[in-house]
Amino acid sequence: MSNDAQFVAGVLDSVPGGILAVDNAARIIYLNRGFADTFQVAAGDWMHRPLAELARHFQSSFSCVDGHFDFTACISQPDLPKSRELALTRGDSTIYLREDSGPLHDARQAVVGRVFAYRDISREKAIDHMKSEFIGTASHELRTPMTSIKGAIDLVLSGFAGDVSADIRELLAIGQKNCERLIRLVNEILDIAKIEAGKVKLKLESIDPFIPVEDAVRAVASFAGQHGVKVVIESRDVLPPAVLDKDRIEQVVINLVSNAIKFSPANGEVRVRVACDGPWFQCSVIDQGCGIAESDLPKVFGKFQQVGDSPRMGGSGLGLAIAKGLVGEHGGGIWVESQVGRGSSFSFRIPLSGSERKSEPSEAAASVH
């Protein structure tokens, strides 16, 4: 090994994280000390061996691998960067890793392989968990008094405490409206906290998947009418039953349709399309709104994110994040297709049968069509 090569190897061995490089034939050409220490392997034993063998070794060595060491997508698309999170359990200990990978270039910028970098994010995960626990507890403590305040206002407005003047009634109505708004916000924060903490318990049943869609459209009918927007469920074929949590899927559709209404012009139309695609149930919500810029697509399903331009903007910015989380709990995926000035289409799909659950990760955004 030349002095330059030894220097580079020394630098890479000093990096506080794992580095793995493979060639275009998916054979290991380099791994640093950080990788060997993280995954408890001997670096010399794996040089020039197929990456698939290392993946099988990991699957047998770690009793639980969340995310799986399936490198197929990365190797089959060598020009594309990829990122994901992995949870590895060996014995009683679990470590969380972030995997980032990208193409490996030679001096002429030709792609000659792929580089994988691993960073231990266990501490960040622990902090996130504590944050979610705190937010969940605080939100729960807020919901109880807010519900009591709203109940008291409702009783006064109903005449339970006697007649009140028009001026007092107007002020109470303002308080009632804002109580309802705060309760919705608290409920959304609780939903996000439960999703992030993995504490969502689905009440699964085998039903016609059209039922929660129809109930959701009925639930937003008044909101749509206030803004002069028509919501139409497109004609459907007979759908096979799906194993799902009716209330949670209804919540997903409500969030998607409400969002579409916000961005629809007056006298506009929102279409809800349901269909089956092989073993999947799919639902799409299509609007005629302003559309979403390509640069904003990756932000769409983030927490507290609001993209686009609409006079009806408002809310917490949590609706789409909740939808993504609930679809993910069903083992499905969610995505958006949009073009500025031509509206947006939000779609999700979930397995008809519980046997495929957790087989498809949610996508933050799809390509623009």
Q: What is the mean predicted confidence (pLDDT) over 100-118?
A: 89
pLDDT surpassing 60 at residue 32 = yes
Distance CA 34, CA 27 (A): 19
- Pick 73 or 71 by higher pLDDT: 71
pLDDT band at 80 (very low <50, low <70, confident <90, very high): low
Cβ(365)–Cβ(298) under 8 Å? yes
Which segment, 41-45, 58-62, 99-103, 252-256, is predicted with the most confidence on average? 252-256
Q: Cβ atoms within 10 A of the Cβ of 65, count?
A: 17
Angle at 331 between CA 325 and CA 336, to 5 degrees: 60
Residue with tokens 């990096």: 15
**Cα–Cα distance, 165 to 182 (Å, whole number):** 26
Q: Is 188 helix (H, G, I), strand (E, B) or coil?
A: helix
Tokens matching residue 104: 């490996």
pLDDT higher than 80, residue 265: yes
Beta bridge mates, 119: 98
pLDDT at residue 314 in the model: 56
Cα(49)–Cα(22) distance, integer angstroms? 9
Q: Buried b vs exposed e over 262-280: b needs ≥16 C-beta within 10 Å?
A: bbbbeebbbbbbbebeeeb
Q: CA 243 to CA 205: how far, in whole Å? A: 5
Q: Across all residues in the chain, what is the average pLDDT? A: 83
**Band of pLDDT at residue 305, cut at 50, 70 and 90:** low
* Model pLDDT for residues 216-231, shown as the tens digit of each residue: 999 999 999 989 999 9
pLDDT, tens digit, for every residue of 140-174?
A: 788 888 888 889 999 999 888 888 889 998 999 99
Residue 162 structure tokens: 């006697």
